[in-house]
């Protein structure tokens, strides 16, 4: 369909899970993708394969999203090479569970550094390019638990609630510049992150999803394609639940 033809996108956390599938779908839809992973060289092979398969340009970038200098250098590279940035997908995230009484400062910092502070940093960097071109779409990954809460996940759910709030705020601020900011709030998606809760809990959650199955990374990637494309050109400040009517 090529609905992202020639759009320049930056996606974080592309080596597995949801981010890997967003990269795949963006490549399939014709985007030029700057794909971020942490481990040097880890995306080289798949980037080459996707480029050959779909004729899209995939450029791997390697940095930890907490490294603000490296993130800045990446945006400078994008500006030099492509001259613009149309879509930013803040997908990289971490989940660590702890009951109230068991939460320490390290856990809070580990989660907020990646899920919130790095997202704010990336938005600020993308804004610099997008504001010049007076267009752009920023897509953040929130979560159903950021809206509904979940026992055992006070810190993680707070970080994803913060993502929802910063999405709405930046959408208000950036709408006059024609920069749209939306979030996707996935339910239970079958990835390493979700499976890390253990088989027993996976089964328990499954019985609480009305559509009767776990979500797939493709379910989320398709929402990201829509929000990144011009099909959603009048949609901003929204938190799009993609959860098969799940209860948490
Ligand atoms: N799966 C779900 O059910 C679910 C539900 C709601 C929301 N979400 C959100 O969706 C997003 C993707 O989740 P997922 O299920 O695909 O998770 P995942 O399988 O655990 O993958 C997480 C990705 O984030 C990357 N990442 C983590 N910390 C990073 C850092 N400091 N710098 C750069 N990259 C980093 C990981 O890279 P490494 O491989 O190097 O660790 C990996 O690529 C997350 O924001 C998550 O909170 C997921």
Give 248 or 68, the one with higher predicted confidence: 68
Closest CA to 25 of 236, 227, 242, 241: 227
- Tell me: pLDDT of 195 over 90: yes
Give the pLDDT of residue 156.
98
Classify the phi-psi angles of 215: left when phi > 0, otherwise alpha if psi is within -120 to 50, otherwise beta: beta
pLDDT at position 112:
99
| pLDDT recorded at residue 121 | 98
Q: How far is the CA of 92 from the centre of ligand 1 (A)?
A: 4
Which residue among 14, 93, 143 has the greatest number of ligand 1 atoms within 8 angstroms of its CB, and so is best to mutate? 93
Encoded tokens for 35:
């794909």
- Distance (angstroms) between ligand 1 centre and the Cα of 57 equals 23
> 3-30 pLDDT, tens per residue?
999 999 999 999 999 999 999 999 999 9
Across the chain, what does the average pLDDT equal? 98
pLDDT of residue 219: 98
Distance CA(131)–CA(97), nearest Å, equals: 37
Which of the four pLDDT bands, split at 50, 70 and 90, describes residue 211?
Answer: very high
**Which residues line the pocket of ligand 1, CB cutoff 6 A?**
12-13, 15-19, 38-39, 64-66, 91-95, 114, 141, 143, 186, 188-189, 191-194
Place of tokens 């481990």: 39
Confidence of residue 44 (pLDDT cuts 50, 70, 90): very high
pLDDT-derived band at 141, boundaries 50, 70, 90: very high
pLDDT attached to residue 138:
99
Q: Name 240's bridge partners.
A: 184
Ligand 1 midpoint to CA 149 (Å):
19
Q: What domains does the chain contain, in order, with CATH numbers?
A: 8-242 (3.40.50.720)
Question: Model confidence at 38, in pLDDT bands (50, 70, 90)?
Answer: very high
Q: Which strand (E) or helix (H) includes residue 53?
A: helix 44-54
**Looking at 24, 34, 127, 156, which residue is catalytic?**
156
Nearest ligand 1 atom to the CA of 19 is: 16
Q: What are phi and psi of 11, to 5 degrees?
A: -125, 130
Angle at 226 between CA 142 and CA 148, to 5 degrees: 25
Quote the DSSP letter at residue 45. Answer: H
What is the average pLDDT across 98-106? 98
Contact in structure between 222 and 205 (CB atoms under 8 Å): no
- Report the atom number in ligand 1 closest to the C-alpha of 15: 43
The mean pLDDT value for 210-225 works out to 98
- The residue whose CA is least distant from atom 33 of ligand 1 is 64
pLDDT of residue 6: 92
Residue 1 has pLDDT above 90, yes or no: no
Q: What is the mean pLDDT of residues 34-50?
A: 98
Annotated active-site residue 156? The verdict is: yes
Distance from residue 222's CA to the centre of ligand 1 (Å): 17
Kindly give the distance from the C-alpha atom of residue 191 to the centroid of ligand 1, in angstroms, as a whole number: 9
| Inter-CA distances, 31 with 28, 146, 241, Å | 8, 30, 24
């Amino acid at each position: 369909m090529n609905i992202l033809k020639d759009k320049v996108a930056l996606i974080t956390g592309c080596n597995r899970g949801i981010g890997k599938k967003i990269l795949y779908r963006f490549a399939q839809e014709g985007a030029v993708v700057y794909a971020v992973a942490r481990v040097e060289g880890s995306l080289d092979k798949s980037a080459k394969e996707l480029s050959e398969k779909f004729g899209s340009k995939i450029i791997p970038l390697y940095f930890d999203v907490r490294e603000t200098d490296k993130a800045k250098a990446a945006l400078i590279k994008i500006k030099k090479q492509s001259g613009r940035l149309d879509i930013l997908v803040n997908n990289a995230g971490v989940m660590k569970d702890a009951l109230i009484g068991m939460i320490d400062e390290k856990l809070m910092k580990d989660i907020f550094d990646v899920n919130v502070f790095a997202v704010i940093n990336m938005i600020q960097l993308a804004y610099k390019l997008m504001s010049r071109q007076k267009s752009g779409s920023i897509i953040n990954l929130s979560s159903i638990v950021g809206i509904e809460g979940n026992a055992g996940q006070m810190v993680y759910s707070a970080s994803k609630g913060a993502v929802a709030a910063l999405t709405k705020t930046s959408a208000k601020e950036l709408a006059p510049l024609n920069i749209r900011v939306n979030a996707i709030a996935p339910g239970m998606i079958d990835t390493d992150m979700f499976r890390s809760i253990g088989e027993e809990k996976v089964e328990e959650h499954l019985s609480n999803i009305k559509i009767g199955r776990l979500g797939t990374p493709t379910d989320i990637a398709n929402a990201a394609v829509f929000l990144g494309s011009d099909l959603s050109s009048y949609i901003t400040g929204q938190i799009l639940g993609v959860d098969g009517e799940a209860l948490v």
